[in-house]
Structures are given as structure tokens and as C-alpha cells.
A and B are shown apart, each in its own frame.
Chain A
Amino acid sequence: QKEVEQDPGPLSVPEGAIVSLNCTYSNSAFQYFMWYRQYSRKGPELLMYTYSSGNKEDGRFTAQVDKSSKYISLFIRDSQPSDSATYLCAMTNNFNKFYFGSGTKLNVKP
């Protein structure tokens, strides 16, 4: 079983839609959860960071962590074509090693 599972998509939505991206994980020791956005042929860039369970909002992005279910989500409101990218979840318990999901490719159609 992989440490982190993420649906690879692709996910195609119309502009303005609400997007929901999700990951599940198996290691209950993970405490820090991150979402990265990666454009084609570029390195990932950090979007959101959450510690332990709870929600965090930043503009159009909301990250949720449910540790009891070992499930994390990223919501994108009012999605834009510029949001089209691959979204990677990542998590760690000690910053020595980060575990990444396989990434979900998102396409927002104008």
C-alpha cells in the first residue's frame, strides 16, 4: 500500500466551478500536510500548508485535514484557466522526509 494515494485524474471542469482535490494516507503519524501546484515542466510550488486537523483558507483555496479519516482535501473556488496544472498533496511527520501523492491533473476550460 502506498503511503499516500491520490487520484491522478485528469479532472476537467468549466471556468468558475468549485474544484475538489483529495488524498488519503495510511500513516497516522503524519502531522503536516501540504498542497503543491506544478505546471508542466516546472518544479512544484507550495500552495497551502496545514498542521494537524482543521481547515485553512487562503483566497480561493481552502485546505481541509481530517486526521480521523486520514483524508485531506483542497478546494478551489471560482476556478480559472490559470489554475490548470497538476496538484500534488504531500505530508510529513518530521520534515526529514516528505511523502507525495501521485498528483491530480486539473484542466479548467474557459
Chain B
Amino acid sequence: GAVVSQHPSWVICKSGTSVKIECRSLDFQATTMFWYRQFPKQSLMLMATSNEGSKATYEQGVEKDKFLINHASLTLSTLTVTSAHPEDSSFYICSATGTGSYEQYFGPGTRLTVT
């Protein structure tokens, strides 16, 4: 199956700083990438959908100025958490699909801890 990588897998940052998370599709072209947030013992909460070369579409309640998403190429999307606060601490997971595909390939996730 296709592989999606995320980097870093775990990051600790201080309150007020920004953190960038990378999501890469390693062996296929990801026309669409999704960013999810997952709280302990809860399901995936979709934050935004990004298509290569387009602005991301954010879900209601997700601050686009706080969670900056860039999908610059067919293999790379980035999520930048700006001015992070402790309440932003969570597990962030990206996924990617090819054109018209039902199959989402998930990255391994990034655990963000804001102190």
C-alpha cells in the first residue's frame, strides 16, 4: 500500500511559539490531503482539506490563521500551528488520497505538547 510519512512524530514546544508539521506521500501523488486532530479516546476531527495548489478548506470552528496549511506539491503538505497554547496539545494526523479515490492513507501522526 501507499505510504504517508509525518515529521516530526513528537514535538514539545513552549507556549507562544510556532510549530510546523510535514506530511509527505512517499510513493504516490496526493491530490488531496486531510488534516485531523485527535484527542485521547476520541475520534478523528477533520480540521481542513487541502488540494495541491489551492487554499485549504477549513472546517467550521477551526481558525485558519492559527492552523496554517500549505499544500505546495503533490507529495507535501504542511500544517503550522502558530502561537501555540497548551490547549493545542493533541495528536495531529494527516491523510492523503489520489484522484477520486476512497482510500485514505494515513500518516503515523504527530504528538504535539505545548508547555
Contact = CB atoms under 8 A, between A and B. Distances in A.
A49 B109 contact: no
A76 interface: no
Contacts, number: 54
Contacts of A44: 44, 93, 106
B102 A8 contact: no
B111 interface: yes
Interface residues of B, number: 26
Nearest to B103: A46
Contact of A95 (B1, B97, B111): B97
A92 B102 contact: yes
Given A97-B49, A98-B34, A41 B43 contact: no
A43 B44 CA distance: 10
Interface of B: 1, 4, 6, 32, 34, 41-44, 46, 49, 91, 93, 95, 97, 100-109, 111
Interface of A: 6, 8, 32, 34, 36, 41-46, 49, 51, 88, 90, 92, 95-98, 100-103, 105
